[in-house]
Structure 1
Amino acid sequence: MPDDEKETEWLHNILEIVTDGIVVLQDNEIVDANSVFSAMIGYQKDDLIFMPFENLVDSLSRKHHRNLLDALADADDVEAFNTRLRTKHGDLLHVEINPRIVNFDGADAVLISVNNVTGQIALEETVLELENRFANLYDLSPIAYLTLNREGIIEQVNKAAEELFGYTADRLIGANFSTLFLEKTEEYDPAGDILTEVSRGRTVNALEVEMVRSDKRPIWASISSSSLTPGSEKPREIGLMAVDITRRKLAEDRLREERERADLYLGLMTSDLNIINQSALFALENLKVSLDLPEEELELINETAWDIRRSSRMIANMEVLFKLARSPPDRVKTRVSTHFNRAATEVDRDFEWKDLDISTNIGEESLEVLGDMFLWSIFFNILHNAMIYDPSKKVRVDVNASIVDMGREVRLEFADRGPGIPDDRKPHVFKRESIAEAGSPGKGLGLTVVDRYVSDLGGRVWVEDRIPGDSSKGSKFILVLPRWQEQLQIPPITFYKSQHCVFCDPVLDTLTSVLDDMGISRSTIRVVDVEDPDAGISEDALPALPAIQLGSRRLAGYVPEQDMRQEIVRLMMMAAE
């Protein structure tokens, strides 16, 4: 068989094997094509035979690639190029044309490999569009973004970073990230600590640090940082986001000052004023005993003593509200009967001219709730309220206690026989909602304290009619408190910190939050300041600060919440063995 016939036979065989579209041209007409090309262009193979190839080329591309198409027609000096074809249905295809001169049926022909790259072009355009959008978002974002290399050199910034730090981009790029902080010391190097944590593969989230602008003015920023090259042993690029929180920090400082001032005034009220009240009560009592006074004057002394006691109770309630808001005591196992008996005794002492008649089953029940030192004042305020508003000389209050919700809660009902509370007032009796209402005579803070205390414990409080549907026959105050459940005990957790540690406070906050979520007492944590000479350990003995000792294992640095949870679960399993 002659060589040209062999090559022609080879071409016929190869046409249906390859996965690209194949077209054979002679004198610019298609003399053969494979099924891949036919399917690509939407024509039957027989319809393509003897069709000029350039008829398939888009009209604009035909003009643009005139010389290249002429070379194909002449089968001379052909070269690869990209163009666009029109399918039978009018769709536009982006294709790569790879031609070569071959022998076909004894004459020169052009074998064209046609690769459809429409999807690739569309993907590239989409990627380019997304890159442009990201670039716009990056540059227009109100959040400062910086890109660093592994040594902490700034490689890229957006406009928000320029505005936050007061430098132009050309001044920031090439500078070390550490120049944006106050001068570092041997103990305090936040920039170095952030880079160290990210180089370990960790993510730093919302770390609040003090930084410095170009004009040396200090600012506060919330820093989040992570590797931009995940999976690599050492990140080549580090992304960093900085949010300006200076105003919030200044507001917090002002709020702290106001709180300290309020605490000072509260201290004066709860100590000095109580001393004055006690002195006044002692003087009035001395007058009653030492002088033979007329009945009218004795009545006046009793009324004055009562007003002084009420002012003392209001001061005490204010103190409870402040402590619940600022520094609530630890929640511990609290016996209901102990606090209830104290409350009843204190109420009886306040009302010398009345008798408090309590019918209750609390003494019969060994009830323990999740509470604290203020529980007695809750019972006191409800009983005190009944004594104030019931005009009877003998005030009866029925107090019933029961365990509900499958043993998880304790329900306490206080039913009095006073004038009752109208339905439209029931939703408002626990709250002092306005300055005008706060100034109304006879309205104290007692029920406000009850509501705040019960809510803080995760309980509920409301008021109903003692006799349903008749508000004039007295009220029933109902408290539902969490019943005490023994907390899970695990081995102590030791938390090592220092005053100069960048991550210590946020990591300790995360640790306490995790323990709260898992129902483990915060008292499990033992905090050790390594700068304390009596600590018994130096910072050099630890891999990094903070360090958390959990049994035989130790976590160090900016520890992620998930790692803490895993180790605490391990401790729980060990404790259960």
Structure 2
Amino acid sequence: MTEKSIFESSRVFRELIDNMGSGVIVYEAYNNGKDFIIRDINNAGEKISNVMRNDILGKFVTEIFPGIKEFGLFNVFQKVWKTGKSKRYPLSMYKDDRISRYVKNYVYKIPSGHIVAIYDDITEQRRANEDLIKSEEKYQSIYNSGAIGVTKVSMKGEVLEMNQYLLDFFGYLEEEIKLKTFMELTHPEDLNSDVKFFNQLMEGKIDHYDMEKRYIHKDAHIIWGSLTVSLVRDLDGNPLYAVSLVQDITENKKAEEQLKESEERFRKIFEESPLGMAIINLDNKLIIKVNFMLCSMLGYNEKELIGLTIPEITHPEDLENNMELLEKIIRGDIPFFTIEKRYTKKDKQIMWGNLTASIIRDKNEIPLYGIGMIADITERKETENKLKESEEELLRLNKELEQRVEERTEEFKESEAKYRTLFEQAADSIVLIDTETEDLVDFNDKMYENLGYSRGEFNDIRVLDFVVIEENEDYESHIKKIIREGSDIFESKYKTKDGKIRDVMIHAKAIKIKDKQYIHSIIRDITEFKELEEKIKKSEEMFRKAYNQANLYKDIFAHDINNILQNIQSSVELSSLYLNSPEKLHTIKELYEIINEQVNRGKKLIKNIQKITEIDDTEIELEKINATLELNKAIDFTKANFPNRNLNFQFKSTVKRMYILANNLLLDVFENILINAVRHNDKSNIQIIIDVNKQTVEDKEYIKIEFKDNGLGISDYRKKDIFEKGTRTTQKSKGMGLGLSLVKKIVDSFHGDIWVEDRIKGDYKQGCNFVVLLQNAE
């Protein structure tokens, strides 16, 4: 080999050594192998050992690597140098004051006598393995804990692994879920967002993502999960698989939805409540929210009422008690309070209200704000004052009645002491009963005479033959009570020979004669007294009813007559202004029509009050009435009352002969319904459809008549009391207060029914459907 070729070979070998990934150091033995001198090192060796080539050449290995003997590699050097046999030194941790590395070594001897050590630094790989082991242990701990769902998903979205938590969450078996992709398990509306995040994760734009999303359960219902996804990559950074953590939040979502529904219900209840409602700032007692009904009660609009304080709307004499109770519920002494108090309205008038107040608190029981519900009880308070005198009279009558009862009871007691002398002459029945045999041991003439028997007949009769009781046990129980307590005064019922029932008052006393137990009873017939008592009770009820009706009709009459007179006065004043203006003649005619209509309304109001009073006081006699004729009359009457309105009536019927059980008041029912349909309709073209059909209810056949209009409609919370006396169809209505109340009473007297529905179900603003159910007379 030429010198040149040797040089070239040496250069190639040198480049090869310097570019190796493993560290290489050449050592020369010193002093018969007691130490080793460093003669050469490659680039990788400099990097792994953290040294510079020029700084270590010619120096002892024990100087550069002071931990080599403790490490055990020095002993390997000696053996290889002496024997010439190469050795591998397993992976071990080398450590001195300068470096700390996991390395593995291969040592061999070359022909020149030098030894060569080839070594690799696997510290980072070892640490990565340790981190991987720890990560795997942590993953397995979470996977098996059952506290959260864990799944591995391939880059194609396939389910590789899934713990029991998630299998239960989805409702699948393990072999079933592995046939699914995460795209199939995801709700379609959430899929695009999930896929977008997953793609960003694979592209390395994000290291993880979180989202709440909907999944599809095995049985097809929706479940909610809180999802966290991260990516596991290999050492080269290539994605291996995704790890997803899923927490079941279905119940949380349901709770959120229920909370939203609850808030919506509260808002609707608050705004549409028939009670006045207000929300109060607890710090300064300012009103911060009110509903329409409270504004209407107090005469303010919403902007005026909000910002006022409780003291500003409360009567001064009721303020102290109100504020004391409010402080108590703020402190938590009481959960709520209800009081009757006076309010000062905008016009300075007094309104009595029944207030129920409570506190809304947060989850930590800290008061947030107060809420009050107020019912207007002004009319009730006025009625209570007016009833006070009659109640005092009733109390006086009751006291007299009690006194009479006490006097008669005292008479019974006195008669017992005189039993032997007055036995036969007594006005009351007297009897002595054997408690064991229930035989009548002795009795006076009044006993059998009052029951319609002769003495001979009565001798063969036992107590249970004339005492009216439900069970024998009741009689025996009462006898035991008299014996136990010694005596008793009670009311009972006796049956006479001819089967009539008489009310009696009995004073019974347990006595012993020669150690044998008897019951001695004095019996007074109180049938007439009971009848009188019942008459007084009915009279009292009739008085109360008449009083309440009189006050109700008075208030309604005064209100509606006032409206009528006001309309007439306004029309007269306007007419006087136009009398000298011929060009206003058509206006004067219109005003005259208004006056005429108001007069007719007044007549109708008086007639309604007369009729509703007659219905309250008398029994209605029913007859066979041709409802078609009455309906046509009502339509003609309605058209005549509204000559300037465009009225369109449509009549549809599946009943050929429409005869019902009613009387002449049927016309009033039809007229009231039709007039209301026109009066409460602001459309230029008023449509009223009348549908007639047959309907069977509880084996009875009825005629069902429906009046459908396209008017203003009636909200749901007003439908339930629209037929009560004095109820208006709308808050702004100035119609007759007795109209629908009269209709309801008449229909009830016909043994029928009436109610109101939405013409278009669910949208009351599209008009009403008044449904009348009347007995078929055919």
Question: Which TM class, normalised by the smaller chain length?
Answer: 0.3 to 0.5
Q: Return the TM-score normalized by structure 1.
A: 0.46
Q: Which structure: larger Rg?
A: 2
Q: Return the TM-score normalized by structure 2.
A: 0.36
